[in-house]
Amino acid sequence: MAEEKQNVEVEETAAATEVKTEQPKQDPQEFLENFDWEKYEEGIERVDDNKLQEFETLVEENFVDTADEEVVEGTVVHMTDREAIIDINAKSEGVISLNEFRYNPDLKVGDKVEVLIDIREDKTGQLVLSHRKARTIKAWDRVNDAHDKEEIVQGFVKCRTKGGMIVDVFGIEAFLPGSQIDVKPIRDYDQYVGKNMEFKVVKINHEFKNVVVSHKALIEADIEEQKKEIIGQLEKGQVLEGVVKNITSYGVFIDLGGVDGLIHITDLSWSRINHPNEVVELDQKLNVVILDFDDNKSRIQLGLKQLEKHPWDALGDEIKVGDKVKGKVVVIADYGAFIEVAEGVEGLIHVSEMSWSTHLRSAQDFVKVGDEVEAVVLTLDREDRKMSLGIKQLTPDPWTDITTKYPVGSRHKGIVRNFTNFGVFVELEEGIDGLIYISDLSWTKKIKHPSEFVAVGDTLEVEVLELDVDGRKLSLGHKQTTENPWDKYSEEFAEGTVHKASIAEIVDKGATIDFNEDIVGFVPSRHLEKEDGKKLVKGEEAEFKIIEFNKDFKRVVASHTAIFREQEDRNVKAAKKRAASSDEAAPTLGDANSQLQALKDKMEADSKKK
């Protein structure tokens, strides 16, 4: 306000003097330095109107319009321990605390700085400036411009935060996500703190004033160029150096310098491994060979073991069929076990070669992973790199003296190992199994399935019925170890004999009756009829007549109806006989005539004699 008042007085004084003499133009700074304000205020020195007008023109042309909230460039003209005096080419100078320049400890007189005109004049008439606010406004302008133009910006990594890093970009705190630091996973964020790095502004949220930057985007752009160059030079069989980028359960991803390739777990080592980390580790540098790739070379298959000589090629000629070898069990399957007899050289022991037993079992019953075993080489194919081994060959074949140990007719005890619908497999000893057909389990019981008679694991007495040495087959019988009860029942249950029993079950077309624990008879429906016309029911006791007994087919047929029907037949025959006897005793008309004729003949003979 003081300056405006002085300007008005200068204008009034100039008008009063009406001095119209033209003067040469002066530099406004020089005019101000030589102008004696004290004499002017006291009215001692008068100023020509033309000079005052010229001064106003110079002020309008050279001094900035000090509008509030405007960012302008100023010059540091003086510095104290706490403040910096900034000239923005306005009517007065501004003061800014050195705290706003802590980021720039080398600030000195003459440096150009950006400031925000906060207030043109405070209550003391002082111009109020802010460098911090100016930096923020300019920083947002620069950040937005960099985002729009996709320019690369410099930033300072200040500290770690949850999920990433805080980066100072143009004085604005931007967020650098952990996934955007590098193309490879970062395990140590602290290594980036305090570093200046290049970034690309990838996202701006104007509502919340959030900025997201990425360093990975710059790397990817460089990698893409490298990738095109590398892909164009790829060839099958080519050996390249790479870095282990990632390890999974199925393989290892290798960075070939911007291009990723996969080494499958089976191509890491000639020996079997459970996990790739047994062979490689993260960030490890190694040479790999290109095995294959697709048409656009986006999927590259690599190999590591192919750089070494195949173990089969180094396998000594001293190993041949029939030799005994030692090895470690590396893999077990249901069908057998793989044995590593030398590094990278494996042989298969099929489950059938683990025991002389023909009973089906699993390889886990004999060995487990890690076991050291001895085996015999059964087959050896060096071209196809295959070897089959056997364990059972280390012990004598039990079938070599089978005819001596198990002759036909000999009796033994065995263990029930398995069922089929038609019989039971019984193990006499390790490697010697025999079959009992279902018909040879019992003399009398009608068995539908072997499980009705025995259980797996039961000990059963058997008799050797047949022996096939070449086919390695034994036919056994269990019922043959006991006497055939049908031999003694053939007289007891002969046709025509009568027995008392109860109806056990009503079945289709008749009923069954249990005469004893061995004999089960069948009664046809029409033979269940009683004398009163009704039929026997389950549990009802009655007399039965054997009408059929077949020992060979173990068949007994009985009838209750035959009991009273036979009596009826006897009664009929007796009645007929009595009737016949009565007819013979009674005289007939013929007999009378015969007697009369005889009497007449006698009388005639007597008369002739006279």
- The residues spanned by each domain of the chain are 70-135, 150-220, 234-303, 311-388, 401-477, 485-566
For residue 567, what pLDDT is reported?
A: 66
Predicted confidence at residue 436, as pLDDT, reads: 92
pLDDT tens digit sequence for 395-433 = 888 888 888 888 998 999 999 988 888 899 998 888 888
In the predicted structure, residue 244 carries a pLDDT above the cut 50:
yes
Could you list the beta-strand ranges (E) of 438-560: 459-468, 473-477, 498-507, 510-514, 520-524, 541-550, 555-559
CATH number among 3.40.50.2300, 2.40.50.140, 1.10.486.10, 3.30.2230.10, domain 70-135: 2.40.50.140
- The string of pLDDT tens digits covering residues 252-289 is 999 887 788 899 998 998 888 889 998 899 989 999 99
Mean pLDDT (the chain, rounded): 79
Selection from 212, 210, 254, 200 nearest residue 230 by Cα: 254
What percentage of residues in the chain have a pLDDT greater than 90? 15
CATH class of 234-303: mainly beta
Record: fold of 401-477 = OB fold (Dihydrolipoamide Acetyltransferase, E2P) (2.40.50)
Q: How many CA atoms lie within 13 A of 253 on its CB side?
A: 13
pLDDT tens track for 136-159: 777 788 888 888 888 888 889 999
Backbone angles phi, psi at 344, to 5 degrees: 85, 0
Higher pLDDT, 221 or 64: 221
Between 360 and 566, the higher pLDDT residue: 566
Arch. (CATH architecture) of 485-566: Beta Barrel (2.40)
Name the residue type at position 158: K
114 or 258: which carries more pLDDT confidence?
114
Same fold, 70-135 and 485-566: yes
The CATH code of the domain at 311-388 is 2.40.50.140
Dist. CA 200–CA 193, nearest whole Å: 18
Please give the pLDDT value at position 162: 87
- Write out the two tokens for 15: 């008008």
Architecture, CATH, for domain 150-220: Beta Barrel (2.40)
The pLDDT of 227-246, averaged and rounded, is 83
